[in-house]
Each structure stands twice: as C-alpha cells, then as structure tokens.
A = this chain, B = another copy of it.
Amino acid sequence: MTTEPMRGVLSPVITPFKADYSPDAERLIAQCRWLLSQNVGLAVFGTNSEANSLSADEKLMLLEALVEAGLDPARMMPGTGCCALSDSVRLTKRAVELGCGGALMLPPFYYKGVSDEGLFRNFAEIIERVGDDRLRVYLYHIPPVSQVPITLDLIDRLLKAYPGIVAGVKDSSGDWSNTKAMLDAFPGFGVFAGNELILLDNMRGGGVGCISATANVNPGPIHELYANWETPEAERMQEEVNAIRKFVQQFPMIPALKQIVAHYSGDAGWARLRPPLVELTGAQATDLLDGLAERKFAMPGLPTVQKGAAD
C-alpha cells in the first residue's frame, strides 16, 4: 500500500452481475475506469457493492481483475472485513500485496452485542496476521446495517496499539454528532463521511472526504465540492449535490443506483441485483428516471452501449 493517506471522494462501486448472477469483471472494470476519470476513488466491496452477497473467492477475482486491467490500486479501498476472521485475513493480505491504498473493514456482523474486547481482538488478529507496514485500515461504522458499532473507545484502543496502520474510519451512522465526536477525539485520523450531505461539515471539521453511494452516479459534482470546499462556491455546490442525493435516497438505494447506471449507459444488465436484493418496480424506475431528467441530471463520459446490445 502507498504511504500517502487516502483522501477525497470514493464510491462504494456497485457490482454488475451477469444473467446467471455471477459477478461481471468486465463491466466493473469499465465502471471503475469511468469513476477514476471523474476523480473518484474505488471503495469496491462496500455495502452498496452488495459485497456481502459475494464470496471471498469472488471478491478476490474481481480485485485482481481491476489491478490487472491497469487501474491504480493506490486509489482502491476494498472492503475486506468479513464475519469470519480467516476470510478477513485472506482478503486484507491480498489487498496489501496488490498495493491497495487502504482496506475498509466492517466488524464481524453476525453476532450482536459483542464486546469491544472481542472486536479489538478481531482487528488486532487481522493486522498481526497480515503483518505488513503498508497496511492501512479504515474502520467501517455502519450500525443501521451491521448492527455492530465501532465505538470511540475501540478506535482509541486500536490507534494506540497500531498507530499508522489504523488510518481512518468511514462513518455511516447517519449521525453528524458521531462524526464530529470522531473528528474531535482523534486529530489527524482519516475520517470519511458516509455520504456527501455532510461533506462540507466533515472537511471543515478536519475530515478527509466522503465515501458515498451516490458517488456511483454523481461523482463529478461531489468531487468538485471536495476540491473546492474552502472556496465561496462550496455552499452552493453542497446544495446542488444534496438535491440529487435527497431525491435518489427516496428509493431503495442499491437498486436505484443500478437502475440509473443501466439507463444512462444503455446497458440494461446493470439493473440486475443478486438475491436477497431485488430491482426497483417498473413504477419506481419510472419515477426515479423522470425525476432525474427534471433535475437535468447527467453522467458525462459514462461508457454507453447501443440499447439492447449488452445483455
């Protein structure tokens, strides 16, 4: 991994599936290449990537395909935190070997009400077994989904045990007061907001960027906000990205993102989700696309296919 800390806007890249639900490396490579062209980094295997609907083998295959395709691993922060310690070690080790800029780690999320001591042991074991100074761990706090939180006490303990290695956090609590508490408690820690609605607040508070679902479809404007957060234009830019975000998040997020990419790329196969997730209803899809058109939404530079050409 690089020694340059990761900053800016990252996308938990949505994962394309073929008709048989197998992950589609080719489509993913093209999408990631486009996101990088919009100055957005690659938090592949995040919640919005349906990462937990993929096996460890499938994640490794996709990550290797991205690096082999020539995409810059320093811009990648793959999700490598699994329920099973052995899977987390395997994925994280490979991410470091491939030169990834960081690894985004969920806590093990099956057992509920686990102790900070147990979570500390989980992360400590992963770090020790990977045993590589290039590792940069970003802790993933998303209690609405994982139901297992990353507490301030746990961060404090990990930072003391593994300074430099434990590099930051993605706070997807949806609670700005929690993000603020992280910023205040750990100066210099790489705090990513969990969405762009609080990107400006996060930057002003000492944060380093955001990792946001909607960066999959609106990467350019979100990056512009990040790049210009200290300018007089920032407030207006924040309002503009908020308008898109607040509209899109009225729909089930992952199917909505896939529907948008399917529509603007002309590649209907992008709308496919792996069970247990399902696509939008026809009415939802119409409302979503009509609403975006009204808002003059665009995805400049997105690779397109002739309608009906791709599966």
A residues adjacent to B (C-beta < 8 A): 21, 47, 52-58, 82-87, 90, 107-112, 114-115, 117-119, 121-122, 125, 144-148, 274-278
Residue of B21, B55, B275 touching A108 (CB-CB under 8 A) = B275
> Complex Cα distance A130/B139, Å?
36
Find out whether the CB atom of B275 lies under 8 angstroms from the CB atom of A118.
Answer: yes
Residue of B87, B122, B275, B277 touching A125 (CB-CB under 8 A) = B275
Residue of B110, B121, B147 touching A278 (CB-CB under 8 A) = B121
> Complex Cα distance A108/B55, Å?
12
- Which residues of B lie under 8 Å from residue A87 when comparing CB positions? 55
> Complex Cα distance A163/B298, Å?
48
The answer to whether A55 and B118 touch (CB under 8 A), given A110-B109, A112-B145, is no
Q: Could you list 20 further interchain pairs (A-B, Cβ under 8 angstroms) beyond the known A47-B110, A112-B147?
A: A52-B84, A52-B108, A52-B110, A53-B84, A53-B108, A53-B110, A55-B56, A56-B56, A58-B84, A58-B86, A85-B275, A109-B110, A111-B145, A112-B144, A112-B145, A118-B275, A118-B277, A119-B275, A119-B276, A122-B276
**In chain B, what residue has the closest Cβ to A254?**
B111
Find out whether the CB atom of B114 lies under 8 angstroms from the CB atom of A276.
Answer: yes
Find out whether the CB atom of B145 lies under 8 angstroms from the CB atom of A110.
Answer: yes
* Smallest beta-carbon distance A22→chain B, Å: 8
Count of chain copies: 2
- Which residues of B lie under 8 Å from residue A275 when comparing CB positions? 85, 108, 118-119, 121-122, 125
Find out whether the CB atom of B54 lies under 8 angstroms from the CB atom of A84.
Answer: yes
The answer to whether A276 and B107 touch (CB under 8 A), given A21-B85, A147-B147, is yes
- Which residues of B lie under 8 Å from residue A118 when comparing CB positions? 275-278
Find out whether the CB atom of B54 lies under 8 angstroms from the CB atom of A86.
Answer: yes
* Smallest beta-carbon distance A157→chain B, Å: 14
Report which residue of A54, A55, A90, A115 has the largest number of chain B beta carbons within 10 angstroms of its beta carbon: A55
The answer to whether A86 and B276 touch (CB under 8 A), given A111-B145, A112-B145, is no
Residue of B86, B107, B114, B276 touching A277 (CB-CB under 8 A) = B114
Instruction: State the 6 A-B residue pairs at the shortest beta-carbon distance, nearest first.
Output: A52-B110, A118-B276, A121-B275, A122-B275, A114-B276, A55-B86
**In chain B, what residue has the closest Cβ to A145?**
B112
Find out whether the CB atom of B112 lies under 8 angstroms from the CB atom of A53.
Answer: no
* Smallest beta-carbon distance A241→chain B, Å: 25
Find out whether the CB atom of A53 lies under 8 angstroms from the CB atom of B85.
Answer: yes
* Smallest beta-carbon distance A222→chain B, Å: 24
The answer to whether A85 and B274 touch (CB under 8 A), given A108-B52, A111-B145, is yes
The answer to whether A276 and B53 touch (CB under 8 A), given A21-B125, A85-B21, is no
17 contacts between A and B (CB under 8 A): A21-B85, A21-B125, A52-B83, A52-B110, A53-B84, A53-B85, A53-B111, A55-B82, A58-B84, A58-B86, A83-B83, A85-B275, A108-B276, A111-B277, A114-B277, A115-B278, A119-B275
* Smallest beta-carbon distance A109→chain B, Å: 7
